[in-house]
Amino acid sequence: MLKFELLKTEGRARRGVLTLNHGAVQTPIFMPVGTYGTVKGVTPRSLEEMGAQIILGNTFHLWMRPGLDVLQQFGGLHRFEQWDKPILTDSGGFQVWSLGEMRKISEEGVKFASPVNGDKLFLTPEVSMQIQTTLNSDLVMQFDECTPYDTQGHVTTEKEARFSMELSRRWAMRCQAEFARLENPNALFGIVQGGMYEHLREESLAALVEIDFPGYAVGGVSVGEPKEDMLRIMAHTPHRLPEHKPRYVMGVGTPEDLVEGVAQGVDMFDCVMPTRNARNGPLFTRFGDLKIRNAKHRSDPRPLDETCTCYTCRGHTRPDGTVSGGFSRAYLHHLDRCGEMLGPMLATIHNLHFYLNLMREIRAALDAGTFAAWADAFRAERRRGV
Query: In whole angstroms, what is the distance from residue 234 CA to residue 49 CA?
Result: 31
What are the distances in angstroms from CA 86 to CA 17, 250, 262, 318?
A: 13, 17, 21, 30
**Interatomic CA distance for residues 348 and 342, integer angstroms:** 10
Catalytic residue among 90, 138, 144, 267: 90
**Cα separation, 171 vs 165, whole angstroms:** 10
Instruction: Pick the catalytic residue from 144, 257, 267, 270.
Output: 270
Say what angle helices 227-236 and 255-263 make with each other, to 10 degrees. Answer: 30
Residue 342 near residue 333, CB atoms below 8 Å:
no
Cβ atoms of residues 53 and 29 within 8 Å: yes
Residue 150 is among the residues annotated as catalytic for this protein: no
Query: Is 141 within 8 Å of 175 (Cβ atoms)?
Result: no
Q: Do 49 and 350 form a contact (C-beta atoms < 8 A)?
A: no
Asked if omega into 28 is within 30° of 0 (cis), the reply is yes
Known active-site residue 90? yes
- Residue 158's nearest CA partner among 216, 200, 99, 98 is 200
Q: Which residues contact 266 (CB under 8 A, 6 or more apart)?
A: 28, 218, 234, 238, 247, 248, 249
Q: Is the peptide bond before 253 cis (omega within 30 degrees of 0)?
A: yes
Is residue 273 within 8 Å of residue 39, measured between CB atoms?
A: no
Of 348, 302, 352, residue with least CA distance to 327: 302
Contact by Cβ (8 Å): 168, 105: no
Q: Characterize the bridge pairing of strands 268-270 and 29-31.
A: parallel
What is the set of active-site residues? Answer: 90, 270
